[in-house]
Amino acid sequence: MPSETIRKKLIEVALPLEAINEASSREKSIRHGHPSTLHLWWARRPLAACRAILFGQLVDDPSSVPEEFPTEAAQEKERQRLFRIIEELVKWENSNDEVVLRAARREIARSVARSRGEAPPKTNAEIDAYLAEKAPPVLDPFCGGGSIPLEAQRLGLRAYASDLNPVAVLITKALIEIPPKFAGLPPVNPEARAKFAKGAAWNGRGAQGLAEDVRYYGRWMRDEAEKRIGHLYPKAKLPDGQEAGSAGGATGREKEATVIAWLWARTVTSPNPAASGAHVPLASSFMLSTKANKKAWVAPVIDAGAPDGYRFEVKSGAIGKEAEAKAKAGTKAARGSFTCVLTGTRCPMATSMMKLTMAACAPGLWQSSHMDREVACISLPTRTTKILRNRPSQHGNLTRNAAVRLRAMPKGGFTDSKPLATISQIASLWR
C-alpha cells in the first residue's frame, strides 16, 4: 500500500454551517420516510449533520492541496465549490438523489486517491468500487439510532457500528445491515405474491420489495392489535356529544376522534365501604396542559352509570386559581396519601402501595414451590399486571411479607386468590 499523505480536511477549516443547521432543524419535522418514523431513538442525530460531517472529514481542504490550488483565491473558489456540494447533500429531499450523492462520492474518492498518490477513479462504478475498498471505513462504537453508519453507507463507505443497548443494535441492523441483503428482491407478502401469480411484474429497485413487506406486515400487526385490544381504547366523543361511530349528519363531519395519548394512573380499591369496592385512581395531577392560555385538565364526574361510579371529562380554557390548584393536586391529599375520588376518604399511600405489591405477589402464595422459577402474577384487583422474573431472592421476601399480611386480612379483602401463572401461561393469554 502506498504511504498516505495526511492533508488538512475541510472540516478543520470551514463548513457551510448555516445550510447544515437549517437542514438539520428541518429534518425534525419530517414525518415520512425518516428512520425516526420506523423506530424512536431518543438521542438520534440529524442525518444532514452526519452526512456533512462525514464528507467534511474525508474531503481535503483546498489549502492543503497547493499543487492544484496555489493561490488563496483559487483555494477559496474551490472551497466554495465544495460548499455548494454540501449544501445540496444535506437537503432532505436529496437523500436518495443519485446525482447529488455521486457528486459527493466523487469528491471523497478524489481526496482518498490524492492521499494515496493514486489516480482518482473516473466512472461511477469505479468510484463505488474504489471507496468500498480504499476509503477509510467508518466505525461508530456508540451508534444509537444508526445515523452515522447509515450516512457512511449512503456515501459509499464501509460502515461498522456497535452499541451497548440491544435496541440500538436492532434499529441499526434494520437500517444498514438488513436492507442490503434484500436489495433488488421482490416482496413476499401474500398480496404481492397473488399479484405475481396473476402475471404482474416486479419493477422495484433496491430495498423497495422489503419496504413493501414492512408496510404490509406493519399494517397487519396494527390491525391485529386493533382487533384484539382495540376495545380497550375507545374513540373519544367530540364535544357535540354524538355517539361513537355516527357520521356527522348533513355536514358529514365525524363526531368521534382517535385518542392520541392515554394518561395512566394506578388504581386502588376505595377504603370506604360506601364505595362498594370501586377502584379509584392515585393521580398526582389532573392537569393536562399548564401552559398559559392553553390550560387543559380532566375533571372527575360522579356518575352512577359509569363502571366504577365516576368518569372523567376533558376541560380546557379559563380556570380559576382555586380550581387549578385542585386539579394540580389530582387525588393527592398530603405527602404520602391520596383521597378516594368518590368519597373523599384518605387512602394512605403506604397502604395503597403495599396492597399493590401484595396483590402482585399474592398469587405466588398458593404455589410457592414455583418461586425458584420464572413467576408471573396477575393482580386483578388493582388492574395492574406484574411479571416477576427469576429474582427469587427479592421476591421471596415480598411474598413472605405478603403472606403474613394476607392471612391477617378479612376474607374477600383486597387481593384475590388467583393461582399462580407461569410466563408461558400468561403469554398464551395474549396469543
Ligand X SMILES: C[S@@+](CC[C@H](N)C(=O)[O-])C[C@H]1O[C@@H](n2cnc3c(N)ncnc32)[C@H](O)[C@@H]1O
Residue 24 or 357: which CB sits closer to ligand X? Answer: 24
The CB-of-140 to ligand X minimum distance in angstroms stands at 7
144 binds ligand X (CB under 6 A): yes
Q: What does the alpha-carbon distance between residue 51 and residue 90 come to, in Å, rounded to a whole number? A: 7
Contact 279, 383 (CB under 8 A): yes
**Given 165, 284, 316, 417, the residue binding ligand X (CB under 6 A):** 165
Contact region for ligand X (CB under 6 A) — 141-149, 184-192, 281-289, 385-393? 141-149
Question: Using CA atoms, how far apart are residues 54 and 390, in angstroms rounded to an integer?
Answer: 45
> Please, which of residues 198-257 interact with ligand X by CB under 6 A?
none
Give the DSSP letter string of 198-224. TTPPP---TTHHHHHHHHHHHHHHHHH
Site string for ligand X, 34-73 (x = CB under 6 A): -------x-xxx----------------------------
Q: Whole-angstrom Cα distance, residue 24 to residue 337?
A: 46
Among 27, 60, 107, 163, binds ligand X (CB under 6 A): 163
Binding segment for ligand X (CB under 6 A), chosen from 81-89, 158-166, 314-322, 404-412, is: 158-166
Q: Residue 269 is placed in which grid cell?
A: 380499591
Handedness of CA 118, 121, 126, 130 (dihedral sign): positive
Measured distance CA(57)–CA(241) in Å, rounded: 60
Q: Which of these segments, 9-17, 157-165, 232-240, 359-367, binds ligand X (CB under 6 A)? A: 157-165
Contacting residue, 49, 82, 86, 148, with ligand X by CB under 6 A: 148
Smallest gap, in angstroms, from Cβ of residue 203 to ligand X?
Answer: 33
Binding mask 96-135 for ligand X (x = CB under 6 A): ----------------------------------------
**Burial (CB count <10 Å: 0-12, 13-18, 19+), residue 302:** exposed
Q: How far apart are CA 260 and CA 136, in angstroms?
A: 45
Interface with ligand X (CB under 6 A), residue from 84, 142, 274, 367: 142
Q: Are the CB atoms for 193 and 202 separated by under 8 Å?
A: no
Specify the stretch interacting with ligand X by CB under 6 A; choose among 145-153, 224-232, 239-247, 415-423: 145-153
- Select 164 or 429, whichever has its Cβ closest to ligand X: 164
Q: How far is the CB of 86 from ligand X (least distance, A)?
A: 19
Q: Taking the CA atoms of the chain, what radius of gyration do you get in angstroms?
A: 31
Distance in Å, CB of 92 to ligand X, minimum: 16
User: Cα separations (Å) of 235 from 86, 221, 259, 261, 326?
Assistant: 47, 19, 6, 11, 27
End-to-end, the C-alpha distance of the chain in Å comes to 58
Task: Specify the residue, 45 or 237, whose C-beta has the smaller distance to ligand X.
Answer: 45
Q: In the complex, what is the shortest distance from the CB of residue 160 to ligand X, in angstroms, rounded to a whole number?
A: 13
> Which residue, judged by CB position, is nearest to ligand X in the bound state?
144
Cell digits of residue 16: 457551510
Q: Which is nearer to ligand X, 152 or 361 (CB)?
A: 152
State the SS3 of 119-176. CCCCCHHHHHHHHHHHCCCEEECCCCCCHHHHHHHHCCCCEEECCCCHHHHHHHHHHH
Least Cβ distance, residue 231 to ligand X (angstroms): 36
60-68, 127-135, 159-167, 399-407 -> range binding ligand X (CB under 6 A) = 159-167
How many CB atoms sit inside 10 A of residue 278's CB?
20
CB of 146 to ligand X, least distance (A): 6
CB of 164 to ligand X, least distance (A): 4
Amino acid at site 131: L
Residues at the site binding ligand X, with contacts judged by CB under 6 A = 41, 43-45, 141-145, 147-148, 163-165, 168
